[in-house]
Structure 1
Amino acid sequence: MVATGPYDKKSETLRLGDFTVGPRMLRITAWALPVGVAGAVAALLLLRLIGLITNLVFRQSFSCALIDPGRQHAPWWLVLSAPALGGLVIGVMARFGSQKIRGHGMPEAIEAILTRGSVIAPRVALLKPVSAAISIGTGGPFGAEGPIIMTGGAIGSLLAQVRHLTASERKTLLVAGAAAGMAATFNSPMAAVLLSVELLLFEWRPRSFVPVVASVAVSTVVRDLLLGNAPLFPATGSVPHLTPLVQLLAVVSGLTGGVLAVAVTWLVYRAEDAFARLPVHWMWWPALGGLVIGIGGLVEPRALGVGYDVIGELLAGRATLSLILSILVVKTLIWSLSLGSGTSGGVLAPVFMIGGALGAWEGMAFPPVTPGFWAMLGLAAVVGGVLRSPLTGVVFTLELTHAWDTAPALLICATSAYALSVLVLRRSVLTEKIARRGLHLTREYVTDPLESYFVHQVMDPRPCTLTEDDILGEALTENLRARLRTARRPQRLIPVLRADGTLLGLVTARSLLPGSAGPRTASGAARPCRLVLHPEMTLRQAASLFAEHTLTSAPVLDRAGGRLVGVLDLPDLLHARRRRLAEERHRERIILRRPRGSAPVMGPVAPAEPSKSQ
């Protein structure tokens, strides 16, 4: 219940769920710090496990160092069979362990946030990194970032589950763990935060942003202690001179990257549809996908594995034409087809390699800038087109290479790819998977129109009222019902006022129907008011209070004297939405052609009349 006494801004803010500056935000930030440490350690362990399995399979040696399977000159039968056997193990783990380990991790984390209150089962925290390490270590052309997002998210979720927290707070800790693992894997704290905002949080609010940044900061410090702080693919060469021609070609590179992103996304889900039509249980699909990987590995061995060394060669400008073309064709095919089989592995590292190869190929025809410049643009473009996250693509490229002076060209390129992807595809490689599971996910962030209007702008300032001494006789009832019929909007609740104009209670319009029983005086018929609003409240606050108290109407009182100034009904909240629709759809010419005597509308606009169909 909302008191009508002195106004307490702090308590009202916290009650409405906006703990921008409050103890809950600080408490979640404190819990995000150990989550950041755990996320960094989990990333290190995952990388070490990938290295261990890769060495055991392709070198038959016990070492945790990351190696390139394609450089080991393994026999053909091992290249062909190892990915298939790894896929078979993953299929068994998924069937008898948890199906949540299937896929590349990010859609699964999003689904946990959307449908399960950010709750991830403990076994997922163990099975996901193990399955990913088996998939990548046996030659799978995947990255470690998707699994570490799921693993770090599971760590944050498990910590939240043992605490007495809300679903929103669990989501914050889940994302904090995912971002911490991502930052530690690629040494990219800013990109990890951006990825969290663009793909996982579904909001940009202090209550979630501050804990995520705190977790990422701690993870970056721990990563520095464990793995060092150098960029994964340091750029070489002088500062690039971005001429108008180079920036124009950046648009061309972005558009070609967008085309490749569309093709890759289409191929992933056509492969998924093809596997779904097979007359075998889905447990066997990863093994079949592994067989595709093995065949591709026989054609181009360096398409196997994470491929950090190949990405480094592309971004340094040292890759040969044969390697570039092989990566573009073989890596794209085996990654798309095997990912559609439901195996475990990430998308970012393969997208980095494919995008870098495209840019390096274009760089052979474009004017030279610096070594690897066009490969960087291709990388940012394909990330922006595949993930529909252009800013993440730009920042990832900058943090991977530390080529900060290329930022303007990267932004042009990634945005061009993003625009083309939006025009051609309805959903990205992430949201398509969510949609196929019967969920709706929006990636557009806009200001809530309910935040733009106050209660006093849309309320009914002249509602029908009763005084406490009114006798609810037949004459008064008929008179009041006539006034209600001529009112500009339906009114379900009728305020009963004291002599000084303050609110005594409420009478329902139904109680005025002929034959209704009850006391004869308005004061006796009045019921206590469960909720009152104030003119300076935003419509978002009013909507939150309506939802909290399960009400559709409330009186509006002057905060200073407690006098009635109006009544707000649920349909009044639609005014903000109608105004937003008018801003998006109504076209007019203001300066060149304006009717004589008219002027542009300034300031608040009176609320539109409700639809008669109600």
Structure 2
Amino acid sequence: MLVITAWALPIGALGAVAAWLLQMLIGVVTNAVFYHRWDTSLVAPGATHHAWWLVLLAPIAGGLVVGLMARYGSEKIRGHGMPEAIESILVGGSRVEPKVAGLKPISAAVSIGTGGPFGAEGPIIMTGGAIGSILAQHFRLTADERKTLLVAGAAAGMAATFNSPLAAVLLAVELLLFEWRPRSFVPVVAAVVSGTVVRGMLIGTGPIFPVPHAPVTINWHDDALAVVVGISGALVAYGATRLVYFAEDLFRRLPIHWMWWPAIGGLIIGLGGLVEPRALGVGYDVIDQLLTGHATIDLIIGILVVKTLIWSLSLGSGTSGGVLAPTFMIGGALGAAMGLVFPSVFPGFWAMLGLAAVVGGVMRSPLTGVVFTLELTHAWDALVPLLVASVTAYAVSVLVLKRSVLTEKIARRGLHLSRDYTTDPLETFFAADAMRTGDDAMELARELAARGAHFVVGERDTLRHVAYSFAQHGHPEAAVLAEDGQVLGHIDVQSLLTARLHDLTEATERTQVFRRPLGIGSRVPG
């Protein structure tokens, strides 16, 4: 663990540098295309008026470039980054091709810089992950160690993009690691800290969207209304997710090569840009207006409708760009719209709740949604209503959607992904709990013990260890020995089902524990 943690530190720093370079590259493309100047600062494509043909054609040209890069460079640059990183972890042994580390940020900069309504965080997750994976491959580490360094680079890039170290760690745990163990958690935190420190040197340490407000008291009815925001966020998440995969299904039916799909997606973006130019690009300026309470009604409605449509439909084309920043903008617009009729708490309060709710619903990461919102704004007073809104959206989303916008893409590639954290019964039962001790079992156990160490397990070995032993040595049974070497019993693959049956019983059997009404006990003789 300590060696991997040491490697995670420079990977985190490199992930922060990659995030900084990507933001500058997006700025270069945006300034060159829409403002005809050389500048690295992030600007909004729709901040000023542009000729209609530029707004319409720039996204189409960007889509053509992305399609060509994917066709003749690497198909791995298609998509929004997170599903590709998850797929690499699940089935690719956490191996990422070196060329992806270069092609992904360039394609994302082209896509976003020409007006694509996407975020930089998905591409930087893939790029930072590629940095960690390439280093791990160079030093011939195990698949688990490669996964840890891949996630470390991805989380560091995310932390550097939004100056949100805790949210980046939570995102890694909720979406990428598939475990919570010291061997992976500690290196990821080390990389995130390293990336955040380097980010502070390059960009600064302040919040991305500071929400100025005096300390306020949030009343119970505000918390109750947060439930309404959460339900609304889940409905927006439902609609957006359905739109993404409705568009993907439509593109798959087209009788043309997928290389041309991003250009068609660019046409959708351009048409939306003619209606609401401020929906184009990453949109950090719009998010800031929403979260600080400076957005007009026209902007709120325009973003809620146009941004949702062009982001969802164009993302289905397979172009390059992230989902988080658009989710922030759509969620902020939803909350700001509800804030028009809800009681005032402080400027941007309801927009914050909408942001957390839509993140919780779209990405199925409720804690990440809460912490992201707090780290982006530093409005710590809003913790409880943010938690209510995000978890409500998560709960409703789970009920109405089988999978999230991220895991649906994984499922469509024929992979199964579980994001439930539960206690594994094989880890909580010992060999002595599941062994058989009858006469026939004891005779068989003594025969196995005589064959050698590969055919014995200890009485205090967990059933998980027993299963690993069976898999490693290629046999389905073993003798169970006490610490002094005495044969205690026989265990086989069938015995492992004991723990699973116990787990199933606890999940399905209903029993009445209290036989009397609560608070009424039997009389104690005196």
Q: TM-score range by the shorter chain?
A: over 0.9
* Paired residue secondary structure (1:83): helix
* Paired residue secondary structure (1:444): coil
Residues in 2 aligned to 1:291 and 1:370: alpha-carbon distance in whole angstroms: 39
Which residue is 1:582 aligned to?
Answer: 505
Whether the aligned pair in 1 keeps the contact of 2:94 and 2:150 (CA below 8 Å) is yes
Whether the aligned pair in 2 keeps the contact of 1:379 and 1:397 (CA below 8 Å) is yes
Which residue is 1:194 aligned to?
Answer: 170
* Paired residue secondary structure (1:554): strand
Residues in 2 aligned to 1:322 and 1:568: alpha-carbon distance in whole angstroms: 69
2:351 paired with 1:427 = no
The alpha carbon displacement at 1:457 in A equals 1.2
**Gapped regions of structure 2 (runs ≥ 5):** 518-526
* Paired residue secondary structure (1:69): coil
Whether the aligned pair in 2 keeps the contact of 1:59 and 1:72 (CA below 8 Å) is no
The alpha carbon displacement at 1:535 in A equals 1.1
Larger Rg: 1
Which residue is 1:592 aligned to?
Answer: 515
Alignment-mate amino acid for residue 32 of structure 2: L
Superposition pairs of residues 31-180 of structure 1, within 5 angstroms: 31-180=7-156
The alpha carbon displacement at 1:374 in A equals 0.2
Whether the aligned pair in 2 keeps the contact of 1:47 and 1:144 (CA below 8 Å) is yes
Whether the aligned pair in 1 keeps the contact of 2:164 and 2:375 (CA below 8 Å) is yes
Whether the aligned pair in 2 keeps the contact of 1:257 and 1:385 (CA below 8 Å) is yes
Residues in 2 aligned to 1:415 and 1:494: alpha-carbon distance in whole angstroms: 51
Superposition pairs of residues 64-463 of structure 1, within 5 angstroms: 64-463=40-439
* Paired residue secondary structure (2:464): helix
How many residues align? The count is: 517
Q: For each residue in 1:367-409, what CA deviation from the matched residue of structure 2 results, as whole angstroms up to 9, or x when unmatched? A: 1001100000000000000000000000000000011111111
* Paired residue secondary structure (1:530): helix
2:471 paired with 1:495 = no
Which residue is 1:523 aligned to?
Answer: none
The alpha carbon displacement at 1:533 in A equals 1.1
Alignment-mate amino acid for residue 541 of structure 1: H
Q: Determine which of 534, 538, 549 is the counterpart of 2:473.
A: 549
Alignment-mate amino acid for residue 469 of structure 2: L
The alpha carbon displacement at 1:529 in A equals 4.8
Alignment-mate amino acid for residue 133 of structure 1: A
Residues in 1 aligned to 2:445 and 2:227: alpha-carbon distance in whole angstroms: 62
Residues in 1 aligned to 2:263 and 2:126: alpha-carbon distance in whole angstroms: 22
Whether the aligned pair in 2 keeps the contact of 1:463 and 1:567 (CA below 8 Å) is no
Residues in 2 aligned to 1:220 and 1:386: alpha-carbon distance in whole angstroms: 26
Distance of aligned partners of 1:588 and 1:297 in 2 relative to their CA distance in 1, 3 Å threshold: same
* Paired residue secondary structure (2:446): strand
Structure with greater helix share of residues: 2
The alpha carbon displacement at 1:102 in A equals 0.5
TM-score, length-scaled by structure 2: 0.97
Residues in 2 aligned to 1:562 and 1:289: alpha-carbon distance in whole angstroms: 69
Which residue is 1:571 aligned to?
Answer: 494
Q: Determine which of 451, 461, 464 is the counterpart of 1:537.
A: 461
Distance of aligned partners of 1:463 and 1:188 in 2 relative to their CA distance in 1, 3 Å threshold: farther
Q: For each residue in 1:54-96, what CA deviation from the matched residue of structure 2 results, as whole angstroms up to 9, or x when unmatched? A: 0000111000000011013221111110000000000000011
Q: RMSD over aligned Cα, in angstroms?
A: 1.3
Whether the aligned pair in 2 keeps the contact of 1:240 and 1:406 (CA below 8 Å) is no
TM-score, length-scaled by structure 1: 0.83
Residues in 2 aligned to 1:529 and 1:236: alpha-carbon distance in whole angstroms: 67
Distance of aligned partners of 1:75 and 1:456 in 2 relative to their CA distance in 1, 3 Å threshold: same
Which residue is 1:20 aligned to?
Answer: none
Alignment-mate amino acid for residue 129 of structure 2: G
Alignment-mate amino acid for residue 569 of structure 1: D
Whether the aligned pair in 1 keeps the contact of 2:445 and 2:478 (CA below 8 Å) is no
The alpha carbon displacement at 1:462 in A equals 3.4
